Amino acid sequence: MAACNITRQRLSELNPDGAKYFLENVLIQIYEHFDDQILVDVTFKLTNPTSLITAHRLILSAASPYFRELFKSDDGICPLIEITNIDSDTFERLITFCYTGKTLVTINNVDRMLKAALILQLKGAVANCADFIIENINDFTLQRAYSLERETQCEILNEKILAYETRNFMHVTQSSEFLDFDAKKIQAIIESNNLQVRCEKDVFNAVKRWYEHNAYARQHQLPNVIACLRLTQFDIDFIMTDIHSLPGCEKLALMAVTWQTCPLARSKLTLKYTEKRDGQITFPDEESLLALNLETQTIYQYNKTEDLWQKWVDIKINFDCFGVIFMGENLIFVGGERDDDRINEVRSWNFKTKTFKQLPAMNQSRSSPCVAILNEKIYAIGGLSENDVILRSVEMSSVSNGWKSVSNMITPRYGACAVSFNHKIYVMGGCDKDNLKSVECYDPITNDWTQCADMNETHYMASATVHKGQIFVFGGSFSATVESYDTQINKWTNICCLSYSTWRIGSISVDNQLWAVGGFNSNCVSVYTEHNNKWIAKGKIPEDDEYYCFTVPKVLLKS
């Protein structure tokens, strides 16, 4: 009997473009089969909590290599398969993904969804979870994303986080997690040609802070990290002063200098990168340090070359005892007093137009509130209301959408200071009948305040800033004390005192240096040097008064 030789055309070789409507109809039929439980041929028993979930082997095998191998194995022959390492709600959602390519991911379930999708080898679901984490990074928090990345070793999440880090490098470097990165991760970030930075010194300062956090252990890794910088973008003085002095980086520094001074020798040099980054943000100038006199409302500009403060502009407002913060191109003035009345007004002063604009008023009148910015939202914290009531209340605004209340502080206080750090707000000191040492922290994810370690001394009408991964509080209560706070170990440490006692000192971290500017009855300006725990005097500011310090791109000052 002759053999019947029939060559069957493989469906995978067919062009699917002409079968669009046919495939859509088949997909609808598959959905109906799943919804009505028609011809289902496998049942999964989940134990957390106990439930039974049915499906079609063919569909699951097509969606996931995990199911394909399971059903080919001896364990997969059984019509009832027990799943013990995934909870039933998550498993059911991912079964739905196998049919539709979509599933509901939320802040509360994304951790479980990602881990289960990795187990079931659902690459599309893994990518969806990773995208959700990055899109909701402010709600999810960067720290939580790093923790999940380490736990799962998920390559897709790693790639998404790396892309986020290159787009938001300056923000990432202010997180406590940054200081604990290993050298390999630091290199992967700063090697990127699309790293979003203003200038290469920003990258150098971040790397130096990372190195100094654990210098002994990182000393042998430092040359490989420094080699990832665009060394030819630094001037020769900076290279010889700041880079040549780093352990093991002498050869790199000399090559970078040779590159700039001897063009004919460039072909013999082995510098890793010689061109400017594509992602480098271009400013006509670097940023300028400014100080706002809170009494006269005069803004002074610091001239670094001449170590001199010069008057830039007067901005007159008819109230005082306000909170103030710099945001975008504006100084935002929050609350205060006018003619001994507490007010709830909010105004912005624009650097380009040099004019004031009225913003939505707060719900509560506040004198001497502290103000912080977190996730592009302004927080007005505490203060004094009518009849000298000391407030615990806190309000939050996105500037244009008005104010809404968030959880109250634990302790009522006014004249406190606040900073945003590592996706949280820290409030220090102030007064509640007596001057305070207490510190508390606000987490926008949980909308809760938690108590932190007390400062060593009381600080009323003090100022605070973040510098090299720690929080510093300056003066207040007519004190010269400066304290630093390590959030990781929840501990305050006194550093060298200022040479004068005052309150409302202008404090800021600029170019990796910690500055103290003026204060009530003082026009002194000092810069802190960590290596010898001393304050070095700089050029004095013209008026002895209370100050708020900030930096702006110089282009704003020329508008």
Give the model confidence (pLDDT) of 174-215 as tens digits. 887 899 999 999 999 999 998 988 789 989 999 999 999 999
Q: Which domains does the chain have, with CATH numbers?
A: 35-156 (3.30.710.10), 169-268 (1.25.40.420), 295-316+476-559 (2.120.10.80), 317-452 (2.120.10.80)
Cβ–Cβ < 8 Å for 513, 527 = yes
Task: With cut-offs at 50, 70 and 90, classify the pLDDT of residue 9.
Answer: low
Q: How confident is the model at residue 286 (pLDDT cuts 50, 70, 90)?
A: low
Q: Which DSSP letter does residue 99 get?
A: H
**Alpha-carbon gap, residue 410 to 388, rounded angstroms:** 19
Q: Give the number of other CB atoms < 10 A from CB of residue 112.
A: 16
- Cβ atoms of 206 and 178 within 8 Å: the answer is yes
Question: 30-34, 221-225, 514-518, 539-543: which has the minimum mean pLDDT?
Answer: 30-34
Q: Is residue 440 within 8 Å of 412, Cβ to Cβ?
A: no
| Residue 266 CB partners (closer than 8 Å, separation 6+) | 259, 274
Place of tokens 């004198």: 367
Whether the predicted model's global pTM rises above the 0.75 cut: no
| Mean pLDDT across the chain | 90
Q: What mean pLDDT do residues 400-418 have?
A: 93
Residue 199, pLDDT score = 85
Q: By C-alpha distance, which of 304, 302, 341 is closest to 319? A: 341
What's the confidence (pLDDT) of residue 227? 96
HEC letters along 433-460: CEECCCEEEEECCCCEEEEECCCCCCCC
d(C-alpha 276, C-alpha 134), whole Å: 27
Distances 75 to 78, 82, 117, 216, 311 between C-alpha atoms, Å: 6, 10, 20, 53, 80
Distance CA 527, CA 536 (A): 5
Of the candidates 303, 302, 360, the one whose C-alpha atom is nearest the C-alpha of residue 334 is 360
Alpha-helical (H) ranges within 466-532 are: none
pLDDT number for residue 45: 94
2 pLDDT exceeds 60? Answer: no
Model confidence at 1, in pLDDT bands (50, 70, 90)? very low
Residue 337 has pLDDT above 80, yes or no: yes
- Give the CA radius of gyration of the chain: 30
| Predicted pLDDT at 12 | 64
User: Would you say residue 5 has pLDDT above 70?
Assistant: no
pLDDT greater than 80 at residue 279: no
